[in-house]
Amino acid sequence: MDYKRIMKIARGEIKAQLVLKNAKIINVYSGEIELGDIAIEDGKIVGVGSYQGEIEHDINNRFVAPGFIDGHVHIESSMLTPPGFAKIVVPKGTTTIIADPHEIANVCGSKGIQFMLDNSKDIPLNVYMMIPSCVPATKEENSGAIVTAKDIKSFMDHPRVLGLGEVMDYPSVIYGDDEIHEKIELMREKIIDGHAPDVMGNDLNAYIAAGVMTDHECSIVESMMARIRKGMYVHLREGSQTRNTRALLKGLNKDNIHRVLFCTDDKHPFDIKEEGHINFNVNLAIKAGINPIDAIKMATLNAATCYNLPNVGGIAPGKDADLFIFDDLYNIEPETVYFKGKIVAVRGEALFEAKTNIPKEVIHTVHVEENLSFKLKLKGHRVRVIGLIHNNITTHELIREVQVENHEFVYNPKVDILKLAVIERHHHTGNVGIGLVEGFGIKNGALAMTIAHDSHNLIIVGSSDEDMLVAAKKIQEIQGGIVLVQDGKVSEYLELEVAGIMTAHSELLVQDTLLKMKKKIQKMGLNLEVDDPFISLAFLALPVIPKLKLTDRGLFDVDQFKIVSIDVDKKVLD
């Protein structure tokens, strides 16, 4: 860097390469709106005040804010590779993300993590990584790979690795398991993300004492406040299925707002297109009565402070020129987005291409046995059923009476209880976990996906064994993706060739296919309280989110943290 030249520009003695003139600048440091110019040289802000530039963009008294930061996101949940993901979030004003690639790590291990790092290095989006801590999430399932402490250590010195990804196996942390504490100890000098739904009291003290610094799993104010009081940062999450922002905003005040930031965690492309990305979280906060500058601060400076990112998060000398222009302070819709001083999106459209090179290590990952059986043997009529919860990925444990013939479950079209299967698809083990779910609502068909958090086995929900088998065979044929079957025939499908969870196809194809599929599922009787059938289904396999989930080894009780029988003892009451 030519410091002498930079100092001359900052002093106003010579012209900058680019100056944004006549801007209303959102100052997240002072809480003010400044009127002035922004001088930019070599992608950096060198001055805020009165400047001249070789190139000048007259902002005409519109607002300019720092680029938004998503504090916790799984790129893979967009079903797009990093360049494709950038194309849909950058136009929404997001210029930095903190990504946790534990989805692809569960399928491909270290090679999957390396793919995400390589594939995100030359795009107009700052992609920082948290190395997955819990692959697999628990010992009661089979994932495609295991990420060890040795694997984690191999990524520690990468310049875009910030720390350890969400520590989901909180019981192991709290009770002093050597393996998880070895991973935490490796990242002791970095950031350690948490994931601890419902953990409170002394257990929370133990979790934080281990070194965990953040949590994005709060759904009620009491949980958020317990964490803030103990020094944690809390993410207000607004994804496609987990929508916690509105509820948590009620607990914010001038004294605690600096410990809060925004994230999406898991959000599908059509929701990002229709609602927005982090700007949607910000707009929710503003509509709830949060001062607009405070809401923007939560999406910028707070996140940058939490993750020790000194170059982003504000508009000030020395910061990267990642910013966007917008018109309405109370409904933030980015009009022009700059990344390192270059225009990368205008009026919702990205001005760059999404190119992805796919190595052989992350394809051909679906290995399902041919002779699958979905028969569910039962001892009696009384069973445990997974109950969906509106706008959440937690579930109920329900006790229900079901129809049984010859000791096998029989689907009753008058009752909204469907068969659910999780099929191990990584190692040819032949494992098939069978359970029941209430609240999905579809009839005369099946929905299958190789997106099944976090081990990403093949998960299928359906009203008949025949439809579920058709779906499974199509998944094998396309080597991963989402398949919808109606009346014994494949109705729609989306190929996800990268680890069975992402595609290098265009974001428009993904958006359009998912939207068409969702409309068809709705016509098949999808429960009105299921906003996103894909995310609802995917999280039924995640055994670290209460209460009842299904793995390839069977029904899993998260509270007891063990496999349980689907059959219920007569002594168990409703």
Q: State residue 570's pLDDT score.
A: 60
Highest-pLDDT range among 67-71, 412-416, 531-535: 67-71
Average pLDDT on 312-324 reads: 98
Q: Which of 288, 292, 312 is nearest to 300 (CA)?
A: 312
Dihedral (C-alpha) 9, 11, 14, 18: value to the nearest 10 degrees?
40
pLDDT at 573 over 60: no
Q: Which residues neighbour 208 within 8 Å (Cβ) at sequence distance 6 or greater?
A: 230, 231, 232
- pLDDT > 90: what percent of the chain? 87
Residue 445 C-alpha from the chain's centroid: 28
Return the HEC string of 125-170. CEEEEEECCCCCCCCCCCCCCCCCHHHHHHHCCCCCEEEEEEECCH
Return the HEC string of 487-552. CCEEEEEEECCECCCEECCCHHHHHHHHHHHHHHHHHCCCCCCCCCHHHHHHHHHCCCCCCEEEEC
pLDDT at 338 over 60: yes
Provide the 10 A C-beta neighbour count for residue 44: 18
Return the HEC string of 370-386. CCCCCCCECCCCEEEEE
Mean per-residue pLDDT over the chain, rounded: 94
Encoded amino acid at 111, one letter: K
pLDDT at 141 over 90: no
Contact by Cβ (8 Å): 39, 45? yes
The rounded distance, in Å, linking the Cα atoms of 237 and 221 is 13
Average pLDDT on 294-316 reads: 98
Paired sense of beta strands 233-237 and 481-486, if any = unpaired
pLDDT at 571 over 70: no
pLDDT at 216 over 50: yes
The rounded distance, in Å, linking the Cα atoms of 62 and 77 is 34
Domains located in the chain, CATH noted: 3-61 (2.30.40.10), 69-312 (3.20.20.140), 363-563 (no CATH)
Q: Say which residue, 472 or 394, is predicted with more confidence.
A: 472
pLDDT at 56 over 50: yes
Contact by Cβ (8 Å): 500, 145? no
